[in-house]
Amino acid sequence: MPVARFDEAGRLAVDAALERGDAVVLPTPSPLAYVVAAKTVSAVNRAKGRPRDQPVALWEPRFEQVAPHLALDEAERRRLGWLLGVERVTALAPLATNDGAPGWLAPAARYGMALLFGVAWEPLAWLLERHAPLFVGSANRPGGLPAVDLRQVLTGFGPEVWVLDGDSLRDRARPHASTTTLRFVPGCGWEIHRRGIQDTLHATAGRSDYLADTLARADAALARRPLARRHEGRAGRQARRSRAADRDGHVLLRGPGARRARSHEV
Residues 80 and 47 sit within 8 Å (Cβ to Cβ):
no
Domain assignment present for residue 252? The answer is no
Residue 55 falls inside a structural domain: yes
Tens of pLDDT, residue by residue over 171-230, are 988 999 999 999 999 999 999 999 999 999 999 998 889 999 999 999 999 986 554 444
d(CA 230, CA 213): 9
Query: What pLDDT sits at residue 266?
Result: 63
Of the candidates 183, 188, 186, 190, the one whose C-alpha atom is nearest the C-alpha of residue 97 is: 186
For the cut 80, the answer to whether the pLDDT of residue 261 exceeds it is: no
The per-residue pLDDT of the chain, averaged, comes to: 85
Decide if 266 is inside a domain. no
The string of DSSP letters for 72-102 reads --HHHHHHHHHIIIII--EEEEEBPTTT---
Whether residue 235 is predicted with pLDDT greater than 60 in this model: the reply is no
Give the pLDDT confidence of 64-73 residue by residue, as tens digits. 999 999 999 9
Q: Is residue 184 part of a domain?
A: yes
Looking at residue 256, what is its pLDDT? Answer: 36
Considering the domain boundaries, does residue 233 fall inside one? no
Of 56 and 265, which is predicted with more confidence? 56
Specify the pTM: 0.83
CA distance 226 to 10: 44
Q: Are 136 and 59 in contact (CB under 8 A)?
A: yes
Backbone φ and ψ for 31, nearest 5 degrees, come out as -100, 25
Does 235 fall in a domain?
no
Strand partners, 194: 181
Q: Per the domain annotation, does 68 fall within a domain?
A: yes
Confidence of residue 262 (pLDDT cuts 50, 70, 90): very low
Question: Is the Cβ–Cβ distance between 121 and 59 less than 8 Å?
Answer: no
210-223 and 74-82 helices, crossing angle to 10°: 110
Provide mean pLDDT across the span 232-245. Answer: 42
Average pLDDT over residues 222-242: 50
Alpha helices in the chain (DSSP H): 8-19, 41-48, 63-66, 74-82, 125-131, 150-156, 197-204, 210-223, 234-238
The amino acid sitting at 180 is T
- Whether 197 contacts 176, CB under 8 Å: yes
For residue 47, give the CATH number of its domain. Answer: 3.90.870.10
Q: How far apart are the C-alpha atoms of 168 and 7, rounded to whole Å?
A: 13
Q: What share of the chain is helix, strand, coil (3-state, %, to 5)?
A: 35, 20, 45
Cα 91 to the chain's mean position, in Å? 7
Number of domains in the chain: 1
Q: What is the model's pLDDT at position 254?
A: 38
The answer to the question of residue 250 being in a domain is: no
* Structural domain harbouring 192: 3-202
Distance in angstroms (rounded) separating the CA atoms of residues 241 and 191: 5
48 near 60, Cβ under 8 Å? no
